[in-house]
Structure 1
Amino acid sequence: MEHIRESLIKKSKKAKLEQIGKFVSFLCITLIVLVVVAIFYFVASKGLATFFDNGVHLKDFLFGKVWNPSSVDKQGKPLVGALPMIMGSLLVTFLSAIVATPFAIGAAIFMTEISPKLGTKILQPVIELLVGIPSVVYGFIGLSVVVPAVRNVFGGSGFGILSGTFVLFVMILPTVTSMTVDALKSVPRHYREASLALGATRWQTIYKVVLRAATPGIMTAVVFGMSRAFGEALAIQMVIGNAALMPHSLTSPAATLTSILTMGIGNTIMGTLENNVLWSLALILLTMSLLFNILIRWIGKKGEMK
């Protein structure tokens, strides 16, 4: 009896393997959390040094229009206004999202509602190919094709917000399209059948029923594409002109947070004001990325509530 009792209490090999699996999963999750916290702490500590160690006012940094960290104004304050880069990043992000959204929704409707077989055979591989193209290739194409085209049509040097918008539009289009396709496919089939049974045409069903039911998923796709556009560095750096000036037109050279970061981070000394303000730009990027993620989760929860 004692032997039987011990055999029943003793954990089996499968139970031990399950415990080991849970422990390994917990370690991996803990490692990921620690890495994220470490990144936030490192960037925040470096970025906040601009305000605590160098004495730069937050208002002057966020709303200043002159970017020249190695110089000071008449009052002795460093010229570290980040507003031109913030405006440049926001403009190319929102404009590329505005341009990409109609194309993405149209392609997604074609792939899911009009011709699923043709969409699966032709459009899906094309979208997957666009996702896999490196950023530097997009930048070279923009530099060789988009910039000369903008120069010939609109005048100027060709470098600026408009060229950056066209490049980012192509870069985020496959991401927004893929997520929009998933959102449309997630709409229950009986929604379509009920609409058609009530006498609605196919286009009325798509517009009135399918798109409205998939709106949270489509909004999530757009915000996700904007998040990628806001953080893009190499491709946008090659076509925007990298002039840290307030953008007064779509065809004038401008700069984004990422373009100034990639150009200057390797040419500054750690601990100096010139280096700290770049980390402050990185902190803005990180904060915006966090806000985009919060917005995506909020839209997703709104969709679940519906």
Structure 2
Amino acid sequence: MMAKLVKETEHPLFKKSSKLRTERFGKGLTFAAVLLTALLTAAIFFLVISKGLSTFFVNGGSVKEFFTGSTWNPGQKHEGGSPIIGALPFLTGSLAVTGLSALICTPLAIGAALFMSEISPKAGRKVMQPVIELLVGIPSVVYGFIGLSVVVPLLRDHVTGSGFGIAAGTIVLSVMILPTVTSLALDAIQAVPRSLREASLALGSTRWQMIYKVILKTAKPGLLMAVIFGMARAFGEALAVQMVIGNASVIPHSLFEPASTLTSILTMGMGYTVLGTAENNALWTLALILLLMSLAFTIAVRWIGRGKPQ
């Protein structure tokens, strides 16, 4: 009886197949990758938050001064012993270049996407799409160098000031985020069902009425997502903006005056501070603001994506 049972267990039907072992190995490998990604994300959040809050809990900095003060000198202290950490000029500069670049880029990107999708698809695929792909592949330092060599002298010679400032940063960022916003806007427009286009034209709409009243309204959630993705990239861009904005720690009163952003101050100061000092912790606080803003952009994209047509 025992021998019969052993023979039955050795039968191929009772053996684990190699495909089952491979599937289990793949599941385990996928789970390990997901777990590692989650742990890395949690570690990054913990590091940035703990270091960023040290400015207030360890060095005694003022939250109100950080968001409303206009003087940035963490190496110096007030009479009460708290560091001087007025970050309002950097917050203003980051929000200004991000908002203005989005305002300039959005109509251009949506117009290019409409041209490639609705007006001239053949020419769009042959001409516009390769150009957009080329712009995506250009490194940010090249954009910054072009801005430093072309945009800054152009503003200095034909507008006013030194050429460095929010205007130069806005122009460079607008060109940088244009391919990203265009590609995402094109995907959103092409996701509109063809039946809606045909129904609109069948009811007597002109092509422009069809584009304005049907396509743009239907693709609105996807277009908003494209703009927010572009703003997220613009807000976090460092090197290109640093090269053309002037890096002055003051609140600018004009678009053509030198200014600073959160990223430009971080890139200039992080390598010249000692870990654990008030100056280093203040830079980590700026990094925390960038992280929270990126999280806000991500939440906004997910929230808008709920209304995206399937």
- Does residue 210 (structure 1) correspond to residue 215 (structure 2)? The answer is yes
- Does residue 80 (structure 1) correspond to residue 89 (structure 2)? The answer is no
Q: How does 1:188-267 map to 2 (within 5 A)?
A: 188-267=193-272
Q: Is the 8 A contact 2:221 2:308 kept in 1?
A: yes
The alignment partner of 2:84 has SS state of strand
Superposition deviation, residue 247 in structure 1: 1.8
State the superposition RMSD in angstroms: 1.4
- Does residue 103 (structure 1) correspond to residue 108 (structure 2)? The answer is yes
Superposition deviation, residue 10 in structure 1: 3.0
- Does residue 65 (structure 1) correspond to residue 70 (structure 2)? The answer is yes
CA distance in 2, matches of 1:300, 1:11: 43
**Structure 2 letter corresponding to 1:222:** V
Superposition deviation, residue 57 in structure 1: 1.6
**Structure 1 letter corresponding to 2:190:** K
CA distance in 2, matches of 1:73, 1:99: 41
The TM-score normalised by the length of structure 1 is 0.96
Superposition deviation, residue 8 in structure 1: 2.8
Superposition deviation, residue 9 in structure 1: 3.9
Identity of aligned residues (%): 62
CA distance in 2, matches of 1:66, 1:29: 43
Closer, same or farther: CA 203–4 of 1 in aligned 2, 3 Å: farther
Q: What corresponds to 1:7 in structure 2?
A: 12
CA distance in 2, matches of 1:10, 1:294: 48
CA distance in 2, matches of 1:273, 1:248: 29
**Structure 2 letter corresponding to 1:141:** I
**Structure 2 letter corresponding to 1:20:** F
Superposition deviation, residue 76 in structure 1: 4.6
**Structure 1 letter corresponding to 2:268:** M
Q: What corresponds to 1:144 in structure 2?
A: 149
Aligned pairs, number: 305
Superposition deviation, residue 77 in structure 1: 3.6
Superposition deviation, residue 4 in structure 1: 5.6
- Does residue 293 (structure 1) correspond to residue 298 (structure 2)? The answer is yes
The alignment partner of 2:127 has SS state of helix
When structure 1 is superposed on structure 2, of 120-129 and 149-158 the one drifting more is 149-158
The TM-score normalised by the length of structure 2 is 0.95
The alignment partner of 2:70 has SS state of coil
- Does residue 128 (structure 1) correspond to residue 130 (structure 2)? The answer is no
**Structure 2 letter corresponding to 1:72:** K
Superposition deviation, residue 71 in structure 1: 2.2
When structure 1 is superposed on structure 2, of 170-179 and 120-129 the one drifting more is 120-129
CA distance in 1, matches of 2:308, 2:134: 30
Q: Is the 8 A contact 2:167 2:256 kept in 1?
A: yes
Superposition deviation, residue 150 in structure 1: 1.2
**Structure 1 letter corresponding to 2:129:** Q
**Structure 1 letter corresponding to 2:293:** M
Superposition deviation, residue 44 in structure 1: 1.0
Instruction: List runs of 5+ in structure 2 lacking aligned partners.
Output: none
